[in-house]
Chains A and B, each alone.
Chain A
């Protein structure tokens, strides 16, 4: 009897750690005990491992120097540090903070928190593809605007923002630009100097490194108020003894990503396009969410009319396919994804959305298999749905 097929396509939610990363981490979990702040040999070994990883992360995003990289516990901490930290430091200059309406919850909530601290915040609209409306950004960027925080590429719909142009607009008004590149890092080449980015969030697990590690790039001259006060590690911006094994793993993951990104992105784009075609062509009333080309290589976000996302997910699960949905029913709230609503989808369209995020282990066979099971899943659920029009019922 053949083993049940198991196809994981929820890489935006979590990625497996690359075995080469695990190997790199093991010595730092087994033997190493030094604290990088200590002067003795054990401490200096740890310090060396820490700074090597910092260099690798700096190289991936072309930071001007490795000291611009602050290690954190992950993207949520990096986003919090950037948003609250910049707001805290620049509040005498102004109290206006702008962001988009398709940000990750770890940007949305720190921005909302700022409202309780007396800041004025605005969630800027995006167009039907999820691109930030630049004319609105220009209009809303007042002299009192201190910070603009924008996602590099949205993980739900994959849309890659025109960061360079956004940067130009933001810097014309002397505001600080923070970019959340959690989903984009290691998928598209990011160059903080070319793109004109002041602060950049990246995450280890999103590039096949361990969880619980991330980084915030802070350009020289940009001031950030720390959230953790203690021993003054990470240039005083993030106190606490460094998670050496995790950071070493992050460094290794970054090194692998830098070497393999180009080939892997090309492979994923082919898989992605094949999957979009395979999912949509055989099924009427099915659509792609986001832009057809200016999207992350791993992202396949589609929607099927008249049926609901969670029931599709459960059906896929029974076929050994693991994905995600834009529906309320998979989350803790009743509202469907704010990202899907922001690109103009109706509630019922957002509820009918499915998100597949591809990864290194996915193959053409996987993609074709998913495309082959989808039509009958949609058909079965449409037969049960009171919304399905008569001509589709047969």
Chain B
């Protein structure tokens, strides 16, 4: 059902965890639907210097979370905002069609974390 890449990220997820002093946090999904993910980011000089995730969900939810951390790490905020759900799925060698909607939320979570960071900046916290 899943590609080797998906299984690799499921078995050995990259960047699992929380960042206690994160500059931005984004949570999307809902445990009712079976998927919930939180992305934590650290930002320095407009670049994502660190990124971690926590995910409740199926195999593809975990794999997409892991993949987005790899895709986003080191990128500028503008570059990171350009990462789409399709990019994540493609980087994983594709996802089963039924998973494209429900469990491919990682890009949304990343964008939410960046928005959270931008909001904090706007309020002068950073």
Q: Provide the bound-state CA to CA distance between A332 and B102, in Å.
A: 11
| Contact partners of A241 in chain B: CB under 8 A | none
Most buried by A among B10, B13, B32, B38: B32
B54 to A327, Cβ gap below 8 A?
no
Whether A308 contacts B102 by the Cβ 8 Å rule is no
B57 touches A311 (CB 8 A): yes
In the complex the two chains form, what is the Cα distance from A220 to B51 in whole Å?
70
Is B93 interfacial (CB-CB < 8 Å)?
Answer: no
B37: chain A residues within 8 A (beta carbon): 386
Question: Is B55 within 8 A of A384, CB to CB?
Answer: yes
Q: A332-B98, A386-B27 are in contact. Are A347 and B56 (CB under 8 A)?
A: no
In the complex, whether B83 has a CB less than 8 A from a CB of chain A is no
Chain A residue at smallest Cβ distance from B65: A384
B11 in the interface, Cβ–Cβ < 8 Å? yes
**A336 beta carbon closer than 8 Å to chain B:** yes
Question: In the bound complex, what is the Cα–Cα distance between A332 and B96 (angstroms)?
Answer: 11
Please, which residues of chain A bring their CB within 8 A of the CB of B41?
none
What are the residues of chain A within 8 A of B36 when measuring CB–CB? 386-387
The yes or no answer to A257 lying at the interface (CB within 8 A) is no
Confirm or deny: B31 has a beta carbon within 8 angstroms of a beta carbon on chain A.
yes
* Chain B contacts with A in 42-101, Cβ cutoff 8 A: 54-59, 61-62, 98-99
Q: Is A385 within 8 A of B58, CB to CB?
A: no
A339-372 vs B, CB cutoff 8 Å, 1 = contact: the mask equals 0000000111001000000000000000000000
Check A347 against B16 for contact (C-beta < 8 Å).
Answer: no
A306 at the interface (CB under 8 A from B): yes
A311 and B102 contact, CB distance less than 8 A: no
* Cα–Cα, bound, A347→B32 (Å): 5
Give the complex CA separation of A385 and B55 in angstroms: 5
* B11–A351 CB distance below 8 A: no
Assign chain A's interface to a size class.
20 to 34
A284 vs B59: C-alpha distance when bound (angstroms): 23
Q: Give residues of chain B (10-30) contacting chain A, Cβ–Cβ below 8 Å.
A: 10-11, 13, 16, 27
Are A384 and B11 in contact (CB-based, < 8 A)? no
B16, B98, B99 — which one has the most chain A CB atoms within 10 A of its CB? Answer: B98
Chain A contacts with B in 316-334, Cβ cutoff 8 A = 318, 327-329, 332, 334
B7 / chain A contacts, CB cutoff of 8 Å: 314
Q: A329 touching B58 by the CB < 8 A rule? A: yes
Name which of B2, B13, B34, B35 has the most chain A CB atoms within 10 A of its CB. Answer: B34
Instruction: Assess whether A387 is in contact with B102, with CB atoms less than 8 Å apart.
Output: no
Q: Give the chain B neighbours of A383 by CB distance below 8 A.
A: 16
Whether B62 and A386, one on each chain, are in contact in the complex, defined by CB atoms closer than 8 angstroms, is no
B62 cross-chain contacts in A, Cβ below 8 A:
311, 384
Residues of B within 8 A of A308 (CB): 34-35, 56-58, 61
B103 at the interface (CB under 8 A from A): yes
Residues A273-332 near B (CB distance < 8 A): 306-311, 314, 318, 327-329, 332
The docked-state distance in angstroms from the alpha carbon of A292 to that of B11 is 34
State in angstroms the CA–CA spacing of A384 and B102 once bound together.
18
Verify if B125 is at the interface (C-beta below 8 Å from A): no
Question: How far is B56's CA from A339's CA once the two chains are assembled, in angstroms?
Answer: 22
> Are B56's CB and A385's CB within 8 A?
yes
B122 at the interface (CB under 8 A from A): no
Closest CB of chain A to B104's CB: distance in Å? Answer: 12
Shortest C-beta distance, B89 to chain A (Å), equals: 16
Q: Which residues of B contact A387 (CB under 8 A)?
A: 31, 36, 56
Cα distance A23–B114 when bound, in Å? Answer: 65
Residues of B within 8 A of A351 (CB): 31, 34
Q: Can you give 15 contacting A-B residue pairs, CB < 8 Å?
A: A308-B35, A310-B59, A311-B10, A311-B61, A328-B102, A329-B34, A329-B58, A329-B59, A329-B103, A332-B98, A348-B34, A386-B27, A386-B38, A386-B56, A387-B31
Residues on A lying within 8 angstroms of B by beta carbon are: 306-311, 314, 318, 327-329, 332, 334, 336, 346-348, 351, 383-387
Beyond contacts A311-B57, A347-B32, A351-B31: 17 other A-B pairs, Cβ-Cβ < 8 A, are A308-B34, A308-B35, A310-B59, A314-B7, A328-B33, A328-B102, A329-B58, A334-B34, A334-B102, A346-B32, A347-B34, A384-B55, A385-B56, A386-B36, A386-B37, A386-B54, A387-B36
Closest 4 CB pairs of A and B: A310-B58, A329-B58, A348-B31, A386-B54
